[in-house]
Amino acid sequence: MSSRAISQKEHRGRWQASVIENLEWIIEAVILAVIIRCFVLEAFVIPTGSMAPTFYGRHVTVNCPNCNRKYDVGINSSTGTPYAGPRCPNCGDEPHTLSRVKGGDKILVNKAFYQFSPIQRWDIIVFKSPENIEKNLIKRVVGLPNEELAIVAGNLLVAGRIVRKPPLVQEQLWMLVHDGRFVPSDDIPIWSLDGGWQRTDGGLEVESPEGERPPSFTRYLPEIRDFYAYYPNSGRNMVGDLKLTLRVTPRSGNGALILEIAGGDKTFRCRLPVEATSPVTLEVGSREVAWASNAPYLCTGVPTEIEFSKADFLVRLKIKGKEVLSYDCWPGVDKLKTSTSHSGIRIGSQGLSLLVEAVMIHRDIYYLPAPDNHAFQTGENEYVMFGDSCPNSGDSRRFGLVPRKEILGKALVVWWPLTRMRLVR
């Protein structure tokens, strides 16, 4: 055989070996992908807004023509069009134009997670619908096996005790009510302007005379209800679990900044003095219930970030990102009101001239009960699932308890769109 024929034969053999090797790689990759999809990870697309604002289904983005804030409105799955009656969550204005329809969030689900770890309350999971096993749903776990879960005035109770959300979950479930960075172009009254308070470009200010005078307050005027911009047909219930964040710059005086959250039949008042003239205090009504003598204090001419919140019957104060005060205001199930009669936010000054900027107000999620207001009694390996968009979620309030065997996995990451990419906590 000539050397040329031998060379051609060797070349053909190397080419065949390369093809076989590449095919082996492809087959192995396909098998690995199938194994991963069946047993480890699987991609899902969020079809509806039942978990908004944590996850978005198909939706449109609205740019408010009045305050210029952007927000999102869900698509009605029955009509294929945006929900009727959208309005800005910041100023209440109705939109003139809507963006094109955007697809739902795309997520990865860890299907092996619960083989090694127990299911925990507040986990976001994918499971087979009890109404149609061919359909997968995504909801948040709110009820665990062998417990009685009740819903009273937007709160979750287990065995007559309040169920509090962990800090990371609470941060997810704060919902925007007011963003002071977006100022309405028309004269919509947002804050009361009396007692020396005035509106500035993006903020508020007051010139308060020094001395022993009553405090001067500005009050947030709109009612705070369980309204979802994503699902406009909502907002029937008053919400008393609120968070106020702001940046304060004292200008002159040796008095105090006063922050108030009113929820239900109680008003929580926090006093923050200037230059550590006295401790930071928390009052309920006229009674002082907590104080912090070593808290960072306000300094004249120095901007200070402050966060004051009440959620799940726990009042917290943060100064410069550090929690300096907390108070458990759980009254006991026998004294618990069945609804919130009023709520509100006030910012006050006593003997202190100051500038207030970057004011933001959030409300907590308000859980709605089942249509007949029944409690959920779970058995062994049974769970209660709720959507984060309570008024627009078909969940355990409709289809009942979810057996452990129908749970597919834990939501791991939002991977599309890029602007919403994040780990799911």
For 133-164, the pLDDT digits (tens) are 889 999 999 999 999 999 999 999 999 999 99
* Domain edge (last residue) among 343, 363, 383: 363
- How many Å apart are CA 84 and CA 22, to the nearest integer? 55
Instruction: Please determine, for residue 302, whether its predicted confidence score (pLDDT) is greater than 80.
Output: yes
Q: Are residues 386 and 359 in the same domain?
A: no
Instruction: Please determine, for residue 38, whether its predicted confidence score (pLDDT) is greater than 60.
Output: no
Question: 346-375: b or e for each residue (b if 16 or more CB lie within 10 Å)?
Answer: bbbbbbbbbebbebbbbbbbbbbbeeeeee
CA atoms 48, 52, 56, 61: torsion sign: positive
Instruction: Please determine, for residue 9, whether its predicted confidence score (pLDDT) is greater than 80.
Output: no
CA 347-360-258 angle, 5° bins: 20
47 lies in a domain?
no
| Whole-prediction pTM | 0.88
Q: Which of 31-45, 183-197, 340-354 has the lowest mean pLDDT?
A: 31-45
Kindly state the helix (H) or strand (E) to which residue 21 belongs, with its residue range. helix 3-35
50 lies in a domain?
no
- How many Å apart are CA 7 and CA 75, to the nearest integer? 66
Where are any strands of DSSP class E within 207-265? 216-219, 242-252, 256-263
Q: What is the pLDDT of residue 5?
A: 53
Instruction: Please determine, for residue 231, whether its predicted confidence score (pLDDT) is greater than 60.
Output: yes
* Domain edge (last residue) among 363, 379, 408: 363
Most confident region among 43-47, 100-104, 123-127 by mean pLDDT = 123-127
In degrees and rounded to multiples of 5, residue 72 shows phi and psi of: -115, 145
Q: What is the pLDDT of residue 233?
A: 80
Domain count across the chain? 3
Tell which residue, 203, 215, 196, has the closest CA to residue 349.
215
Q: Are residues 205 and 343 in the same domain?
A: yes
- How many Å apart are CA 161 and CA 339, to the nearest integer? 17
Q: Are residues 307 and 183 in the same domain?
A: yes
pLDDT tens per residue, range 157-187: 999 999 999 999 999 999 999 999 988 877 7
Q: What is the pLDDT of residue 35?
A: 43
- Estimate to the nearest angstrom the gap between the alpha carbon of 412 and the chain centroid: 17
Q: Which of 31-45, 184-198, 225-239 has the lowest mean pLDDT?
A: 31-45
Q: What is the pLDDT of residue 13?
A: 55
- Report the CATH number that the domain containing residue 142 is assigned in CATH: 2.10.109.10
Instruction: Indicate the SS3 state at residue 387.
Output: coil
Q: Are residues 259 and 340 in the same domain?
A: yes
Q: Which two tokens stand for residue 377?
A: 């009694």
* Domain edge (last residue) among 324, 339, 363: 363
pLDDT grade for 113, boundaries at 50, 70 and 90: very high
Q: Are residues 107 and 175 in the same domain?
A: no
52 lies in a domain?
no
Over residues 359-374, the mean pLDDT reads: 93
Instruction: Please determine, for residue 338, whether its predicted confidence score (pLDDT) is greater than 90.
Output: no
pLDDT tens per residue, range 52-67: 999 999 999 988 888 8
Q: Are residues 287 and 318 in the same domain?
A: yes
Domain residues for the domain of 25 are 3-42
Instruction: Please determine, for residue 18, whether its predicted confidence score (pLDDT) is greater than 80.
Output: no
Q: Are residues 205 and 324 in the same domain?
A: yes
290 lies in a domain?
yes
Q: Are residues 116 and 260 in the same domain?
A: no
Q: What is the pLDDT of residue 184?
A: 84
Q: What is the pLDDT of residue 39?
A: 47
201 lies in a domain?
yes
- How many Å apart are CA 180 and CA 373, to the nearest integer? 37
pLDDT grade for 96, boundaries at 50, 70 and 90: low
Q: Are residues 19 and 163 in the same domain?
A: no
129 lies in a domain?
yes
- Report the CATH number that the domain containing residue 212 is assigned in CATH: 2.60.120.560
pLDDT grade for 188, boundaries at 50, 70 and 90: confident
Q: What is the pLDDT of residue 2?
A: 57
Q: Are residues 234 and 144 in the same domain?
A: no
Q: What is the pLDDT of residue 36?
A: 47
Q: Are residues 134 and 249 in the same domain?
A: no
- How many Å apart are CA 177 and CA 173, to the nearest integer? 12
48 lies in a domain?
no
Q: Which of 134-138, 381-385, 421-425 has the lowest mean pLDDT?
A: 421-425
Q: Are residues 284 and 357 in the same domain?
A: yes
What average pLDDT is seen over the chain?
A: 87
Q: Which residues contact 20 (CB under 8 A, 6 or more apart)?
A: none
Report the share of the chain in percent with pLDDT over 90. Answer: 58
51 lies in a domain?
no
Instruction: Please determine, for residue 23, whether its predicted confidence score (pLDDT) is greater than 60.
Output: no
